[in-house]
Structures are given as C-alpha cells and as structure tokens.
Amino acid sequence: MTDIGMKPHALSIENLSLEFPTYDGAVKALDGVTIQVGNAEIVGLVGESGCGKSVTTMAATRLLPEGRYKITQGTIRLFGRDPTVMSDEDLQQVRGKLVSTIFQEPMNALNPTIRIGKQLVGVIRRHEAISRAAAETVAANILSDMLIPEPSRIMQAYPFELSGGMRQRVLIAMAFSCNPGLIIADEPTTALDVTVQAAILRLIQGRARRTGTSVVFISHNIAVVSQICDRLYIMYAGRIVESGPTRAVLDSPQHPYTRALLRCLPERVQPKAQLESIPGTVPNLLDPPAGCFYRPRCLEADERCHAKPQSTTLTGGQVVACWQRSKSQTHVSNEA
C-alpha cells in the first residue's frame, strides 16, 4: 500500500499476529494488528501496559530476541522493505539510518562509561561517511537544536552527570542525528515531570515537522499523544480496537475502552474528586477470553460480545472494532 505520492509508507503493518512460545502454551501477544504510518506523519499508539504496543514496534524493527517469538500471519514493511527477511548487515544499516528509536529510560539506553559526545559521534559516523571533526560539529549542532545549553560541555559529560530530562534530550538528538525517515518514540516522557515532558514533546514534534520525519509515539497516556499526533491507534490486549484522526477520536470516541481511557485523565476530574480507573486487568494472553477481549471489563457488553467484533469504518475515517458501534456503520465493514 502506498500514499498519494506513490512512495511506500514509512511503516506498514498488515494483519500481524505474533506469539511467544512458553512451556505453558503460546502467549498470543498480537492478534491481527494493522497500522499504517505515512511519510512525515506522527502517529500515536495508545494502551495500558501489556497491550502489545512495544512488541508491535519491536517486531517491526526486529528487536525481539531471535528464536523467542513466532509471526503466525501478516506482513511488515519499512519503507516498502520486509525486515523479517533482511540480513543482519542490512538491518544494521536500517536501524539508525532509516529507523531510530527513542527509549523510555535513557540511563539504560546510554552507556554510562562513555562520554556523551563519543556516543553521538559513534552513531553519526556509523551511518555517515564523514570525518570525526565533522561528526562532532553535527553532534554539537543537533544538541543545540534540542535546546541543550553549552553543547560542547555536554559532549564531554558522562550520562550520570546529566538530569533525566537532559539525558532524554540527548537520546532524541541521537535518534535524529542521521536524519532517519522514521522514529519510534517508546514512552519517552514517562519518567519526566510535566514541565519537562511538555518541552520534550515540542522538541520531537518540531524536529519531525522540520525534517519530514515520520514518528510512532507509544504511550499509555492518551492526553500526551494527543498533543502531537495526527492520528491515533488505540490498542487493547494485542488488538487495535479504534483508530482515526486524533481530533475525531478525542471528540467522539467510539470504543468503550477509548472512552474509559479518557475518563481516567486527571484533567477531566473536578478538584478533590476521586480519580476514575478501569476495573479489572488486561487479560492473560495465554488464555484470552472468547470474542471481544475487553468484554470482561466493559460496562456495555452483551451476548454479541462473545464473538470477535467486526471492524467498522465510520464517516471521518474512524475505525472501531465493537459490536455496540456496528449499527453506526456508514462506510464499510470487514472482519477484524
């Protein structure tokens, strides 16, 4: 599938199912996941912990442990190429140059024994045929672009000498350093305070817009991704339950799970009122419930929900997999 300009999507995942074999059986981590990320598009992937968000993007970049998982159906394309059949050498070229990842915890992603500058320069020279001096200039410039004061001093520092927000900015700089076509931001603001979080979001969005970079922003917080994303995918227990333009999903959420996530936002609660939570937990994917996986926690569930719901496309581009919304269909339906 290609966009209007006939270029391949930055990321195209079609009907992907993936499982992890265990002694107790197969953990069905992904079930028919379809995600499209266009060129220069920022897309949010939202859901509770354990819903399969990181597994989806790690499968796309082949960062899952080899031999520990099995793709049972579906396809993955990165800029039109299939990463599942790439050689290790090709993968090394793709990672960093075409696709970069911003991880959640910078202290785990940065080597604590190597200075910041040396780590940045190493990444740049791995993918660009330039001298060390030129790479140092590129590194200093991109650190400055990330609003890091005194970039030359920061390049001489070790990761443990920087604050959490500063380390996260370094990781963003590293991700953008080779001008990749796609960046996967995996919960990059979770451990940061609200003020720093807002600044990091602006940096990612601003840099991506200026360079035409596509972004997949993973989060459990729908309010965070809504600030920068063009479209949203709502994920529950390894399935996409709703997707669509960000504004449409927020203004008119169609799936009960999406509405539940929105009700849990602190900013939607009156001062001193009790925060809402979603009762229950994400199901055990060794033995998931029949039909809709959200059924045991859903306040709207009925007998139809014991069968897997259809995927319904509504006016405005929203797609929802819910029996309660099937009567609102205005475009086309397909089996999820």
Q: Please give the DSSP secondary-structure letter assigned to residue 68.
A: S
Both tokens assigned to 64: 């899952």
**Residues whose CB falls within 8 Å of the CB of residue 1, separated by 6 or more in sequence, listed in order:** 9, 12, 14, 36
* pLDDT profile of the chain (336 residues), mean per 10: 59 97 96 96 95 96 94 96 93 88 81 95 91 95 90 95 89 90 90 79 91 95 89 97 96 94 84 85 94 94 93 90 68 37
How confident is the model at residue 191, as a pLDDT? 67
Given 3.40.50.300, 3.30.420.40, 3.20.20.70, 3.40.309.10, which CATH number is that of 11-335?
3.40.50.300
Both tokens assigned to 119: 């780590």
Q: Cα–Cα distance between 129 and 210 in angstroms, integer? A: 23
* Cβ 259 vs Cβ 84: under 8 Å: no
Q: Cα–Cα distance between 194 and 314 in angstroms, integer? A: 35
Both tokens assigned to 98: 């075409």
* Cβ 240 vs Cβ 234: under 8 Å: yes
| In the block, residue with structure tokens 């960046």 | 183
Q: Cα–Cα distance between 192 and 36 in angstroms, integer? A: 29
| Other Cβ atoms closer than 10 A to 230 | 16
Give the closest residue to 258 by CA, choosing from 67, 47, 89, 70.
47
Task: Using the CB atoms, write b or e for 48-85: b if 16+ within 10 Å.
Answer: bebbbbbbbbbbbbbebeeeebeeeebebbbbeeebee
Q: Cα–Cα distance between 293 and 316 in angstroms, integer? A: 26
* Torsion, CA 185, CA 191, CA 194, CA 198, rounded to 10: -20
| Other Cβ atoms closer than 10 A to 21 | 12
- Residue type at 279 in one-letter notation: P
**Residues whose CB falls within 8 Å of the CB of residue 273, separated by 6 or more in sequence, listed in order:** none
Q: H-helix or E-strand containing 332?
A: strand 332-335
Give the closest residue to 55 by CA, choosing from 222, 271, 282, 302.
282
How confident is the model at residue 1, as a pLDDT? 38
CA torsion through residues 102, 218, 216, 284, sign: positive
Q: Cα–Cα distance between 39 and 296 in angstroms, integer? A: 38
| In the block, residue with structure tokens 């979080």 | 197
| Other Cβ atoms closer than 10 A to 111 | 12
How confident is the model at residue 5, as a pLDDT? 45
